[in-house]
Amino acid sequence: MKIVVLKFGGTSVGTIEKIKKVTEIIRNYQKKKYKVIVVSSAMKGVTNDLVKKSKEISGNFSDSEYDVLVSSGEQAACSLIAARLIHLGIKSRSWLAWQIPILTRGFHKNSRICQINKNKIVKYLKEGGIPIITGFQGINNDDRITTIGRGGSDASAIMLAKFFKAKRCIIYTDVEGVYTTDPNKLKRAKKIKVISYEEMLEMASLGAKVMQPVSIQDARLNRIDIEVKSSFIKKPGTLITRRSNIINNKIITGITSTYNDAKVTLIGVKDKPGVAASIFRPLSSNSINVDMVVQNISSNGKETDLTFTIKNEDLNKTRKIIVNNKNINFRKLLFEKGVSKISIIGVGMITTPGVTFRMFKSLANKKINIKVISTSEIKISVLIDKKNTKKALTALHKEFKLDK
């Protein structure tokens, strides 16, 4: 069977009119002789409304009942899609996670799909039906409804694609695909036609909010081609696939930037095993998100300087926690608000020498000072003054020919 999994997010099914459009998309795949499996999120706004109610009931709402509550949103959306297809004369029905079943492991609100029973759905596909499956949920061994913590309906779609060996998994959303950089920050940003899992992972963790990293990782492990595209505009989206499937690679695929970051530097930290953990544990337990971390051994080999970035608004809290931390010794504490992290990402840099130099030169030409540098195999990140963000994005976008 030539199976395709189509996933529709909350905005794609946000109104009755949009649901009608979605069913046209589904119908077109059927016309192309695909066996179509549909996964849907709840209609936009529905989940938020249910979550609001849960907060009014209790500040400590039961996790298992939370899953029962919010999963009702997908149930309603799937029945509306299926009924519209039936209205159009197409064989279709909703399949709730417990009816298949989709089995999960882990805690409520944070489960992961571990098994999907294929029998009923395969039979239904062979009969020519289009199953509309509730995303974001499953059941556990006790027959209780669970929801998928990270990745949500995207994760459901990837796992369905895996178990049913789908040719492709198409994530329909409210953007046209993945861009070379945030189009809201740089008008010249271009849609990326094809990107590797690894690059997409870096882009996702760095702020391109198209898909959750956990779902991309699942797709990578199972070698599932993902296409991200708009459910409203009929244009090709972005294909996320294996590196070996990508020809004519550009050196750099995308550029990301953060905003409103603050830089914290501890000078002369006594370098002993576990010191980093001593610094970061209390920050983590106070829900302070630490992003970039850079550490240098100082000349005498006994001390180290440690720099990391946090959100601006966490600065005061962080300062207090570090000053009151009895488990660490350091000579000096430096803070700087209003910094921005610029990252260039591309598998091409592995085989192309001089990428780092080109990045630094390009920024130097614009008189942009680099405060901190951090690199990985397919990514180079630098910290600069927040006010230079747009100038840096423009310069790098041009330097690595992403405008073309």
Q: Footprint of a second copy on this chain (CB under 8 A)?
A: 16, 19-20, 50, 53-54, 56-58, 60-62, 64-66, 68-69, 71-73, 75-76, 78-80, 82-84, 86-87, 93-94, 96, 98-99, 143-145
Nearer to a second copy, 60 or 184 (CB): 60
Question: What's the rounded Cα separation, in Å, for the pair 240 and 251?
Answer: 17
Smaller CB distance to a second copy: residue 64 or 222? 64
389-399 vs 355-365: helix axis angle to the nearest 10? Answer: 130
**Smallest distance, Å, CB 138 to a second copy?**
14
Minimum distance from residue 50 beta carbon to a second copy (Å): 6
In the bound complex, what is the minimum distance in angstroms from residue 96's beta carbon to a second copy?
Answer: 7
The least CB distance from residue 386 to a second copy, in Å, is 42
CB atoms within 10 A of CB 108: 19
Q: Which is nearer to a second copy, 43 or 269 (CB)?
A: 43
Residue 174 CB, shortest distance to a second copy, in Å, is: 20
The residue among 144 and 191 lying less far from a second copy, judged by its C-beta, is 144
Rounded to whole angstroms, the Cα distance separating 53 from 33 reads 43
Which residue number, 71 or 389, has a Cβ lying nearer to a second copy?
Answer: 71
Rounded to an integer, what distance in angstroms lies between the CA atom of residue 77 and that of residue 80?
A: 5
**Count of other CB atoms within 10 angstroms of residue 358:** 19
The size of the chain, in residues, is 404
Q: What is the DSSP letter of 242?
A: -
And the tokens for 293?
Answer: 């971390």
The rounded distance, in Å, linking the Cα atoms of 240 and 157 is: 14
Between 91 and 332, whose beta carbon lies closer to a second copy? 91
Residue type, 312: N
Longest dimension (CA), the chain: 78
Tracing tokens 């959303």 back to the chain, one arrives at: 173
Q: How far is the CB of 230 from a second copy (least distance, A)?
A: 22
Of 235, 167, 239, the residue nearest 25 (C-alpha): 235
